[in-house]
Amino acid sequence: MLSLEIFRAHKKEVVAAWVEAVFATYPFETTGFLRTKQDPFGNPVAHMTREAASTLFDAVAGEDMHPPTVKNALDRFIKLRAVQKFLPSQSLAVIHAMKPILREQVLPKMQDVGQLAAYLEAESRLDSLALLAFDMYCEARETVAEARIKEIRNQHAQLARWAQRLEDGGKAE
Amino acid sequence: MAKLPTPQMLVASRPAFPEQDWLDIKPEFAPGSFCYPAKKETMELLHMPNPHDWDPAAEDWNLPENWEKILCDAFAERLEKHRSLKLFMDICVRCGACADKCHFFLGTNDPKNMPVLRAELLRSLYRRDYTMLGKLLGKKVGARSWDKDVVKELFYYAYQCTECRRCSLFCPYGIDTAEITAIVRELMHEVGLGTHWIMDPVKNCSFTGNHLGIQPHSFVEIVEMLADDCETVTGIRPKTPFNEKGHEILFITPSGDVFADPGIYTFMGYLLLFHELDLDYTFSTYASEGGNFGSFTSFNMAKKLNAKMYAEAERLGAKWILGGECGHMWRVINQYMDTYNGPSPSHMITPKSPITGTVFKNAASTKMVHIAEFTADLIHHNKIKLDPSRNDHIVTTFHDSCNPARAMGLLDEPRYVLKHVCNNFVEMPENTIREQTFCCGAGSGLNTEEIMELRMRAGMPRGNALRYVQQKFGVNHMACVCAIDRATLPPLADYWAPGVTVSGLHELVGNALVMKGEAKRTMDLRQEDLPNVVDDEPEGEE
C-alpha cells in the first residue's frame, strides 16, 4: 500500500493544481472570483469543480471507491461543462489535465521507491474515469436535445389535444 | 511527422494574461447561444422601426444605412425621457457588488455577464458623448465609439439577461440593471433587431389576445376541455364564464396556462377553486394573456399590451381584477401599470374579497390582486376545506419566481398556501430563495428551445440548489407562481435534478381542495393515481 500512501501525501497539491487548471479554462477576469469565494451556492462552479477534483484524485489514487459515488461527484461538473461554450474535446480534456500534474508531483516519488507499475495503473484509472466522463457528457447532451423536443411538444399540448378532438368530430377522446 | 495536440493544448483556452482588454473581446455567435431573429413580416405588422431580414450568425446584419445616427438619437431620447437611465449611467462606481450575483455570470463565467460589465457595454458609449472626461480622453477612461460589432455585442448580452433583478438587490446605489437591459433591447429594436420568440407572441397578443394567436372561440373550447378534465377528476364540472358583463371580478392569467403542459393543471386548479367559492367572475378572451411580452420589447409595446386589462374591466364592468400566477405580468402591474395606463377606470373599486371581506389596500391603486394573496386570505379565514394528505406523495420546495418576489415582495403568501396544501415542505438554501432567488434562467423572453444549452447553464445556480435539497431532503417537487417557470423549470430539473417535478401553486391547491359534492378523488389533476387512497375503498364515498 506504499503507492496509496504516496498518493495520499500529495492529494492537496495535485487537487489544488488541477482545480487551477480547470479555472484557467475560463476567462482571465473570472478566475479570481472562482478562486476566492467558497459558498457552494454563491460560487457553484468552484464548488462543483472542487468536489469533482477530490473524488477524481481519490479514484485515481486507488482508494476504495464505488462507481456510483464517483459518478455522483462528477455529475454536476460534467453537466456544467457539457452546456458551457466548449468543444466536446475542451469540455473533457480537463480530466486528462490531471496527468501532467501527477507526473510532476507523484511520478518521481513513485519511481524512487520502485512503484512505477503502480503509478501506471493509476494513470490507467484516470483513462477509465475519462471514459466514464465521456458517457456522462453524452448523456447530458442527449438530455438537452430531448428537452428541446419535449418543450416544443409541451408548449402546444392542449392545442394538439383540441385539434385531435376536432378531427375526431367533436367529443370523442 | 504530424504532431497531435496534447490534452493541454486542446483545453488551452487563454494565455496567462490576456492580450486584449475585456471590452475588445467580441462575442462569438455560436448556435445555442442566441435566439432566432424576428420575422420581417411580424415586425412590419407591429409597425416596428426598420424591419428587415437578418441572421445573428451572419457577418452582416443588414442594419439600416444610418444606423449609427438612429441609435445615438434613440439613446439621447431615452436619456431625456427616463431620468433613472441617466442616473444609472452616471452613478455606478464599479464596486463589483453585483458582479457575482448574476446567474448568467455564474453559469457562463463570461465576464461580460457580470451585471456591472453588461451595463458597462452601454455606459462606455454614454461616456463618449455625455461625459467631459470621456470626450477628452476617450478609451483611457473607458469610453468608446459605436460600430457594428458593438451593436452585435449589445444584442448578444441584452439577450443574456433575464431582467430578473437579482443584481440590483445587491447594488448599494440601487441601480436596476434590468432597466438597462430593457433600454438596450429598445435600442436594438430601433434598428430592426428583435427575436422571434418575443415578437411572435407580441404580434399574437396584439391581434388575437393570447400569445399563440388562437381565435377566441377556440380559446374558449380549450378552456372547456380543461373543465371536462376537472369533471373527470372530481365529478364536478366547473363553470367557465367568458366575456360576461356585470360580474364583480375579471380574472386574468397567462395564456400559457391554457395551452402548455404543466401550466394547464394550474389553470384547472383555478377553475375548481372559483367554482367551489361560487365566485362572481368572468374570463375575457380579449385580455386572455396576462403575461406581457411587450415588456421584453419596449416601453410602448408593454403599455399597449397592458392596456387590455383595464379596457376589458371597463367593458365588462368588473369592479376589480384577480390575477393568476405569472411572473413579469406582476412586475408590469406592480411597477409600471399606473404609469402606463393609470388611473384605473373610475367604476373600479379597491379589491375586497367577496368571501372573507378582506380589503386589499395594497391593490388600491392598480385594483389587481394576486391569486396567492387571495387564496392565502381564504385559508387564513378558514373558508375552504383542504386535505393536504392528497399531496403526501410529494416533498415540495418553493421556487420564488423573480418578479413576484423582487418586484412585488410576494414572499410569504405562496408559502402560506403551500404549507396548507402540502404536508412536506422544504426550503432551498437561504441565499437562493425569497429576494435572493435565482432565476429559472429563461425569463424575459428567453424561454425558447433554440437556446436550451444557454438556459441550462444560466439556470445552473437554481438547478444546483434544487439538486442539493433533492439529495439532502428527498425533495421531489418544486412549486412556483410563474407561467414561464412552469415551462422552463421542468427541463432545468430534468437536467440538474432529474426526478423533480414542477407545478404551479394552484395545481396543488386544486388537488387538496375538498369540494362540496365531489366524487372520491382517486387521481390528481394530472390524472395520475393518488397513491394514498388505494387502500380504503369499501364503497366510493367521502
CB A96 within 8 A of CB A126: yes
CB B160 within 8 A of CB B457: no
Instruction: Please indicate whether, in this complex, the C-beta atoms of B452 and A144 are within 8 angstroms of each other.
Output: yes
What is the Rg, in whole angstroms, of the alpha carbon atoms belonging to chain A?
A: 22
Please give the average per-residue pLDDT across B197-215, as a whole number. Answer: 92
Chain A contact for B138 (CB, 8 A cutoff): no
How is chain A split among helix, strand and coil, in percent rounded to 5? 80, 0, 20
CB B456 within 8 A of CB B495: yes
Please give the average per-residue pLDDT across B298-326, as a whole number. Answer: 96
How is chain B split among helix, strand and coil, in percent rounded to 5? 50, 5, 40
Distance from CA of A154 to the nearest CA of B (A): 5
pLDDT tens-digit readout, B96-126: 999 999 999 999 999 999 999 999 999 999 9
pLDDT interval class at B12 (50, 70, 90): low
Distance of alpha carbon A50 from alpha carbon A44, whole angstroms:
10
Question: Which residue of chain A comes nearest to B96, CA vs CA?
Answer: A33
Q: What is the mean pLDDT of chain A?
A: 91
Collect all residues of chain B within an 8 Å Cβ-Cβ radius of residue A165: 225
CB B505 within 8 A of CB B481: yes
Collect all residues of chain A within an 8 Å Cβ-Cβ radius of residue B261: 154, 157-158
DSSP B278: T
Q: Using the predicted structure, report yes or no on whether residue B278 has a pLDDT greater than 80.
A: yes
Distance of alpha carbon B370 from alpha carbon B473, whole angstroms:
30
A113 Cα distance to chain centroid: 32
Distance of alpha carbon B379 from alpha carbon B373, whole angstroms:
10
Distance of alpha carbon B489 from alpha carbon B441, whole angstroms:
9
Beta pairing partners, B323: B252, B370
**Candidate from A126-135, B7-16, B21-30, B489-498 with smallest mean pLDDT:** B7-16
Top-confidence residue, B138 or B104: B104
- Look at residue A78 and tell me if it is in a domain: yes
Question: Which residue of chain B comes nearest to A37, CA vs CA?
Answer: B100
- Look at residue A158 and tell me if it is in a domain: no
Instruction: Please indicate whether, in this complex, the C-beta atoms of B10 and A154 are within 8 angstroms of each other.
Output: no
Chain A contact for B83 (CB, 8 A cutoff): no
pLDDT interval class at B540 (50, 70, 90): very low
| Cα separations in angstroms, B477 against A42, B229, B399, B414, B417 | 23, 22, 10, 15, 16
CB B520 within 8 A of CB B469: no
- Look at residue A96 and tell me if it is in a domain: yes
Neighbours of B136 (CB within 10 A): 10
Please give the average per-residue pLDDT across B223-234, as a whole number. Answer: 96
Instruction: Please indicate whether, in this complex, the C-beta atoms of B429 and A85 are within 8 angstroms of each other.
Output: no
CB A159 within 8 A of CB B259: yes
Instruction: Please indicate whether, in this complex, the C-beta atoms of A27 and B464 are within 8 angstroms of each other.
Output: no
Strand ranges inside B150-221, DSSP E: none
DSSP B228: H
pLDDT interval class at A173 (50, 70, 90): very low
pLDDT tens-digit readout, A74-121: 999 999 999 998 899 989 999 999 999 999 999 999 999 999 999 999
Instruction: Please indicate whether, in this complex, the C-beta atoms of A34 and B460 are within 8 angstroms of each other.
Output: no
Beta pairing partners, B352: B359
Domain boundaries, chain B: 25-194, 200-380, 388-531
Position B453 scores a pLDDT of: 94
Q: Using the predicted structure, report yes or no on whether residue B62 has a pLDDT greater than 90.
A: yes
pLDDT tens-digit readout, B389-440: 999 999 999 999 999 999 999 999 999 999 999 999 999 999 999 999 999 9
* B380's grid cell: 387564513
Positive/negative CA dihedral, B469, B471, B472, B475:
positive
CB B118 within 8 A of CB B22: no
Beta pairing partners, B250: B282, B321
Instruction: Please indicate whether, in this complex, the C-beta atoms of A93 and B10 are within 8 angstroms of each other.
Output: yes
Q: β-strand B320-323 against B249-252: which pairing, if any?
A: parallel
Distance of alpha carbon B186 from alpha carbon B71, whole angstroms:
10
pLDDT tens-digit readout, B528-537: 998 877 555 5
Position B429 scores a pLDDT of: 96
Domain that includes residue A113, residue range = 2-145
Q: Which helix (H) or strand (E) holds B68?
A: helix B67-81
Beta pairing partners, B474: none
pLDDT tens-digit readout, A60-74: 999 999 999 999 999
Instruction: Please indicate whether, in this complex, the C-beta atoms of B13 and A24 are within 8 angstroms of each other.
Output: yes
* A90's grid cell: 475542451
A121: closest CA among A6, A44, A17? A6
Question: Which residue of chain A comes nearest to B30, CA vs CA?
Answer: A85
Cis-peptide into B262, omega within 30 deg: yes
Please give the average per-residue pLDDT across B472-499, as a whole number. Answer: 96
Q: Which helix (H) or strand (E) holds B399?
A: strand B396-399
Distance from CA of A71 to the nearest CA of B (A): 14
Position A153 scores a pLDDT of: 85
A56 Cα distance to chain centroid: 9
Length of chain B, please? 542
Please give the average per-residue pLDDT across B58-67, as a whole number. Answer: 95
Q: Using the predicted structure, report yes or no on whether residue B11 has a pLDDT greater than 90.
A: no
Out of A100, A150, A156, name the one closest to residue B8 (CB).
A100
Q: Which residue type occupies B439?
A: C
Top-confidence residue, B263 or A156: B263
Transcribe A71-116 into DSSP letters.
Answer: HHHHHHHHHHHHHSS--HHHHHHHHHTHHHHHHHHTHHHHHHTT-H
Distance of alpha carbon B265 from alpha carbon B525, whole angstroms:
6
Q: Under 8 Å CB-to-CB from B463, ≥6 apart: which residues?
A: B456, B492, B493, B495, B496, B497
B100: closest CA among A47, A111, A139, A81? A47
Instruction: Please indicate whether, in this complex, the C-beta atoms of B260 and A156 are within 8 angstroms of each other.
Output: yes
pLDDT tens-digit readout, B333-384: 999 999 999 899 999 999 999 999 999 999 999 999 999 999 999 999 999 9
pLDDT tens-digit readout, B437-453: 999 999 999 999 999 99
pLDDT interval class at A172 (50, 70, 90): very low
Position B287 scores a pLDDT of: 92
Domains held by chain A: number:
1
Position B542 scores a pLDDT of: 44
CB B308 within 8 A of CB B329: no
Position B541 scores a pLDDT of: 47
Instruction: Please indicate whether, in this complex, the C-beta atoms of B100 and A79 are within 8 angstroms of each other.
Output: no
Instruction: Please indicate whether, in this complex, the C-beta atoms of B110 and A27 are within 8 angstroms of each other.
Output: yes
* B72's grid cell: 445615438
Tell me which of A78, A81, A84 to substitute to probe the interface with B (most B C-beta atoms closer than 10 Å).
Answer: A84
**Percent of chain B scoring above 90 in pLDDT:** 88
Chain B contact for A93 (CB, 8 A cutoff): yes
DSSP B2: P
Position A62 scores a pLDDT of: 93
Q: What is the mean pLDDT of chain B?
A: 93
Instruction: Please indicate whether, in this complex, the C-beta atoms of B494 and A143 are within 8 angstroms of each other.
Output: yes
Q: Which of residues 97-116 of A touch B (CB under 8 A)?
A: 97, 99-100
Q: Which helix (H) or strand (E) holds B478?
A: strand B477-480
Query: How many pairs of residues across A and B have Cβ atoms under 8 Å apart?
Result: 151
Q: Which CATH architecture has domain B388-531?
A: 3-Layer(aba) Sandwich (3.40)
CB B264 within 8 A of CB A158: yes
Q: Using the predicted structure, report yes or no on whether residue B495 has a pLDDT greater than 60.
A: yes
Q: Which CATH class is domain B200-380?
A: mainly alpha
- Look at residue A89 and tell me if it is in a domain: yes
Chain A contact for B432 (CB, 8 A cutoff): yes
Instruction: Please indicate whether, in this complex, the C-beta atoms of B258 and A158 are within 8 angstroms of each other.
Output: yes
Distance of alpha carbon A116 from alpha carbon A114, whole angstroms:
6
Q: Under 8 Å CB-to-CB from B69, ≥6 apart: which residues?
A: none
Position B7 scores a pLDDT of: 73
Q: Count of H helices and E strands in chain B?
A: 25, 7
Instruction: Please indicate whether, in this complex, the C-beta atoms of B10 and A90 are within 8 angstroms of each other.
Output: yes
CB B365 within 8 A of CB B336: no
Top-confidence residue, B223 or B18: B223
Q: Which of residues 151-170 of A touch B (CB under 8 A)?
A: 151-152, 154-159, 161-162, 165
Instruction: Please indicate whether, in this complex, the C-beta atoms of B261 and A157 are within 8 angstroms of each other.
Output: yes
Distance from CA of B219 to the nearest CA of A (A): 9
DSSP reduced 3-state for B283: strand
pLDDT interval class at B13 (50, 70, 90): low
Collect all residues of chain B within an 8 Å Cβ-Cβ radius of residue A140: 495
- Look at residue A159 and tell me if it is in a domain: no
Q: Using the predicted structure, report yes or no on whether residue B538 has a pLDDT greater than 60.
A: no
ipTM of the complex: 0.94
